[in-house]
Amino acid sequence: MEKQTTGRALPSVLAEGRGWSLFRLALWGLAQSAVTAASVWLIRRASDGLFVADASSPPPLGIALGFVGLAMLAATLQFLNRTETQSLGQRYVAAVRVVLFRQLLALPLDTLRARRQGHLMLRFLGDLGSLRRWLSHGIAPLTTVFASLLGGVLALAHLHRPLALAVGGVLCLTLLLVLAAGPVLQSRVRLARRRRSQLAGNLGEKFRSAPLIRLGNRAEREVARLAQHNQQLVTALLSETRCATLVRGLPLLCAGLSNGVVLLLGLGAVSSGQTTPGTVIAAMVVTGMLSAPLGALSRVFEHWQRYRVARQKLQSFLDLPAMDGDRFPRLRPGPGHLELARLDLDGVLQDISASMAPGEIILLTGANGAGKSTLLQAIARLRPVAGGAIRLDAQDLAHRDGASVHRAVALASAELPLVQGSVDKNLRYFRAGADAAQVDRICTLCRLQSTLAGLPAGRGTRLREGGQPLTVGQQQRVILARALMARPRLLLLDLADAQLDIEGREALQAVLATRPCGIILATQDARWLSHADRVWYLADGQLREDLPAARVLAGEALAARHLGVTPPQREAGKPG
């Protein structure tokens, strides 16, 4: 049975030097608190010098120079803070993106197909954006916000303890209100994500089926459906925005209450002689300085809610069962003997047992949906095995390193399309170090030389999405050549019969004639029977027949009827 791994984890925020970044941000937060305290002291001394005769007050020029120095220091700290926070977020997202991509590459083919492209793009773009904003505008600012708030309250306590207690009470009340709004904001975030994902999936589907929509005269219906999804998304986003704006407004309310409390208590303290006007002015300045970190704290909370949802979605993606064979030993060299032992493939095929000698050609046939592609994908280790085993040279492929298996088993299939880039890049995709002579030999074998000669830059011609400018038939030949370039022990051919042009059929015939290795050809075309040694016939989830190709050519098997092969007519007058 194929071993599938689960539980791939997101990288730690503190790994790869990111912990030191947070430490530096904390130090700069303390430095900003010190700047705040020094500013408060200067304001108090300057105000008392104006309202109260105090010989110890510094001269105006000294106060002005002090403010200039503090402003320059604050600007420097802000520059360092912004640079570090952006670097922290971008570096963490880069690490997460690599983990997600490795998981994507390790997913079984059927699992990957079940994921809508819009959902996958949301993981790689929207969710990673939420993670980056949480680190850059969430965790990192927290290290400075709390330091600034603490420094401000301590500065108030130094000026006038009752004022500090009152402002501290208002701060605690604001934090409680922000926390209470958390579940509501989180539900709005989830709804907006769901609507955005639905719209992305709908658009992705329509991009692929635009010609069909036009031919079916369904443009207006699809436009109406898109308008409905648009309206649902707009409604969800507006609801999220209203909730987020309410959360952001709470710190402003807190700042106003703090100013009112400080002014009311301060005037009373001045009138009773308990403090000086300079102290009240300095306290008012401190509460004004607290409004910025309070506003940042509300945005931090908003980023935290989005981060929680995004992290849950990313972790659920990483928890999908993956075909991770990196910890298994490499596949040892061998001649290419294949054995299927009581193979079970997720209810599609059951109890499949067969063997294939090195260099043999197997014609794999059966009706559409019989499981031909599924079987080839399992042999190529793109699908997990639910039961039984696939052995190559007496080695269970489920317990061998995936990279070494893919070097030994090459699959040519229309479901493995060409990638964007040059034709040469596609030809060498499985073997980047192939020399020019080998590339030329494979291109000749696959009847590609005339095709390449007709391209603007030959093998250097860049292919766009969908393999353009190559025709479908030309793409099939490049796919065939790409698999042959790997020089595998076992070649699996799942090329659609209808997509092979005349040159493609000639290329396939040439490959079968040269027998570069063992070959399994999935087809429903009887013309290839003459090149095969054996025929595997799939029907009703079973391997119904495993016969010499000669018997099928003689019309003696179920596979013969499926392929349309009729028994040869006996000559008249001869006994039956």
Question: What domain range includes position 485?
Answer: 338-563
Judged by DSSP in three states, 499 sits in helix
pLDDT at 484 (0 to 100): 95
pTM assigned to the model? 0.71
Q: At which of 255, 287, 318 does a domain end? A: 318
Q: Are residues 309 and 349 in the same domain?
A: no
pLDDT at 479 (0 to 100): 94
Residue linked to tokens 């031909």: 372
End-to-end CA distance of the chain: 50
Q: At which of 290, 318, 346 does a domain end? A: 318
Q: With bands split at pLDDT 50, 70 and 90, how would you rate the model's confidence at 358? A: very high
Q: Do the beta carbons of residue 124 and residue 68 sit within 8 Å?
A: no
Report if residue 103 sits inside a domain.
yes
Q: 338 pairs with which residues across the strands?
A: 356, 392
pLDDT at 568 (0 to 100): 66
Query: How do residues 330-349 score in pLDDT, each as one tens digit?
Result: 999 999 999 999 999 887 89
- Overall size of the chain counted in residues: 576
- Considering its fold, how many domains does the chain have in total? 2
Report if residue 301 sits inside a domain.
yes
Better pLDDT: 572 or 478: 478
pLDDT at 261 (0 to 100): 80
Report if residue 12 sits inside a domain.
no
Query: How do residues 180-238 score in pLDDT, each as one tens digit?
Result: 877 887 788 878 878 877 787 777 667 666 766 776 777 788 888 888 888 988 998 89
Tokens of 505: 């059929």
Buried b (16+ CB within 10 A) or exposed e, 356-395: beeebbbbbbbeeebbbbbbbbbbbbbbbbbebbbbbbeb
Mean pLDDT of 158-173: 78
Maximum Cα–Cα distance for the chain, whole Å? 140
Q: Are residues 54 and 110 in the same domain?
A: yes
Calculate ∠ Cα 51-55-59, nearest 5°.
80
Least confident of 173-177, 290-294, 488-492: 290-294
Residue linked to tokens 């990313």: 314
Alpha helices in 209-320 (DSSP H): 210-215, 219-271, 277-318
Q: Are residues 308 and 403 in the same domain?
A: no
pLDDT at 123 (0 to 100): 64
Q: Are residues 314 and 429 in the same domain?
A: no
**How many Å is the Cα radius of gyration of the chain?**
36
Q: What is the DSSP string of 252-263?
A: HHHHHHHHHHHH
Q: Do the beta carbons of residue 159 and residue 279 sit within 8 Å?
A: yes
- Within 8 A by CB and 6+ apart from 508, the residues are 480, 493, 495, 500, 521, 528
Report if residue 293 sits inside a domain.
yes
pLDDT at 575 (0 to 100): 39
pLDDT at 517 (0 to 100): 94
Q: With bands split at pLDDT 50, 70 and 90, how would you rate the model's confidence at 576? A: very low
Least confident of 158-172, 480-494, 524-538, 548-562: 158-172
% pLDDT > 90, the chain: 29
Domain CATH number, residue 292? 1.20.1560.10
Tokens of 357: 């000698």
469 preceded by a cis bond (ω within 30 of 0): yes
Domain CATH number, residue 554? 3.40.50.300
- What span, in angstroms and rounded, lies between the C-alpha atoms of 246 and 123? 28
Q: Are residues 100 and 204 in the same domain?
A: yes
Tell me the one-letter amino acid at 141.
P
Report if residue 77 sits inside a domain.
yes
* pLDDT tops 80 at residue 43: no
pLDDT at 107 (0 to 100): 81
Report if residue 90 sits inside a domain.
yes
Q: Are residues 345 and 244 in the same domain?
A: no
Alpha helices in 433-514 (DSSP H): 436-445, 449-453, 472-485, 502-514
* pLDDT tops 80 at residue 5: no
- What span, in angstroms and rounded, lies between the C-alpha atoms of 397 and 390? 6
Q: Are residues 51 and 124 in the same domain?
A: yes
pLDDT at 324 (0 to 100): 61
User: Most confidently modeled of 165-174, 426-435, 476-485?
Assistant: 476-485
Tokens of 432: 């980047």
Q: Do the beta carbons of residue 412 and residue 491 sit within 8 Å?
A: yes
Report if residue 517 sits inside a domain.
yes
Q: Are residues 288 and 343 in the same domain?
A: no
Q: 340 pairs with which residues across the strands?
A: 354, 390
Residue linked to tokens 């399994």: 520
Q: Are residues 75 and 164 in the same domain?
A: yes
pLDDT at 144 (0 to 100): 66
Mean pLDDT of 152-163: 74
Q: Are residues 375 and 228 in the same domain?
A: no
Q: Are residues 308 and 353 in the same domain?
A: no
Report if residue 9 sits inside a domain.
no
Q: With bands split at pLDDT 50, 70 and 90, how would you rate the model's confidence at 572? A: very low
Long-range contacts (CB closer than 8 Å, 24 or more residues apart) made by 100-103: 100/124, 100/128, 100/314, 100/317, 100/318, 102/8, 103/8, 103/317, 103/318, 103/320, 103/322
Q: With bands split at pLDDT 50, 70 and 90, how would you rate the model's confidence at 375? A: very high
CA atoms within 13 A on the CB side of 437: 0
* pLDDT tops 90 at residue 29: no
Mean pLDDT of 417-428: 91
Q: At which of 251, 283, 318 does a domain end? A: 318
* pLDDT tops 70 at residue 116: no
Q: Are residues 530 and 419 in the same domain?
A: yes
